[in-house]
Amino acid sequence: LAVLTTSTLPRWGGEILSDHLKTEARAARHLDLVHPNAHLESKGYPVPKATKTGTTICGTVFKDGVILGADSRATSDNIVAEKECQKIYYLVPNITCGAGTAADMEKVAELISSQLELHRLNTGRSVPVVAACRMIKQRLFNYQGYIGAALIVGGVDSTGPHLFEIHPHGSSQTGMFCTMGSGSLACMSVLESRWKENMNLDEAKQMVRDAIKAGITNDLGSGSNVDMCVITKDKVDFIRPYEVVCAKGVSFLKKNSLTVTPSWIPTEVIPSAEQKELDALVSKCQRNEEASRKLCRDLKKYCDTMSSLGKAEVAMTGDLSSSSMCQNDPQLCHLVEGYHALAQQVGQPRCCRAEP
């Protein structure tokens, strides 16, 4: 077969084939938009990676309403961006939702909340939960997943409690319990094993707490506290935090320990002149007291060895010049002289006042 070209065909046939080739060329250029990353890779640029998000949220229906639970850690890749991030948002008095990419989720919640409030004011009735689900689905579907908001919508209306799980592309599903996020596997294991019909409030709270706690302890993208929202027909109760799971502690390097050393500053007390004088007087009195006590001990010891009590009495009271005993006993004279000299200086020693 001959290859058809614009030169081998008539004029009108060549124009048709030329237009067809141009159309295919334009289509090929448009098809390149479907694989933009392959085009970047062919030019030597690194292929962009998908954004990783981390969170753990869950919801369950109990006897009187709906309970939503979430962790409070916001991450940016491998970095903890915030430890107290709010992931449960208020929509209308009977409906709440959470969570997803923090910035996208916050703006979506603000927009849907304003639309639902207008709906409530126009109708004069509480907004059905399915209406909130429908609005959110339409908003997310328009952006084809480029808004990173994955929500669990829960509320109570005239038909009872309802729980919806909405994905970023706009798809949704309903159930009696659900979970989303990077910690959803561990969370779902708790919900599937412990959920039962007609649970009371306390049982539902404990189950949601344990489910979020399982996600926090088994997923690096989840952490910090357990936040909870209890939605009943009469009110919406935000409990934040319900429980602190990962309390911050003190960490040390290996083979290190904490040693507390009290700070001590050496001080020197400089006494005043009066204090120095008083200390000198006290020291002098102490020395005199010791000397007097020693003298008394010597006198008593000598008196005990005297053959006659009269010799000691003469020696203690009397006149040394008229006493012949001092001349015969030099040791006694020395002791008596010391006794009288000390008595004149500090008074009679106490040990010798009663009797020698």
Q: Is 55 a catalytic residue?
A: yes
SS (H, E, C) 51-95: CCCCCEEEEEECCCEEEEEECCCEEECCEEEECCCCCCEEEECCE
Angle, to 10 degrees, between the axis of helix 201-218 and the axis of helix 184-194? 150
Angle, to 10 degrees, between the axis of helix 129-142 and the axis of helix 102-123? 130
Tokens 């003469």 belong to 314
Cα(151)–Cα(88) distance, rounded to whole angstroms?
9
- Which of 55, 56, 60, 75 is the catalytic position? 55
Cα(233)–Cα(327) distance, rounded to whole angstroms?
123
Full strand arrangement of the beta sheet holding 65-70 = 177-181, 56-61, 65-70, 225-232, 236-244
Residues counted in the chain:
356
Tell me how far apart the terminal alpha carbons of the chain are, to the nearest angstrom. 157
The candidate with the shortest Cα–Cα distance to 336, out of 350, 315, 352, 356, is: 315
Tokens 């990419």 belong to 101
The candidate with the shortest Cα–Cα distance to 208, out of 69, 305, 318, 93, is: 69
Task: Please identify every residue annotated as catalytic.
Answer: 55
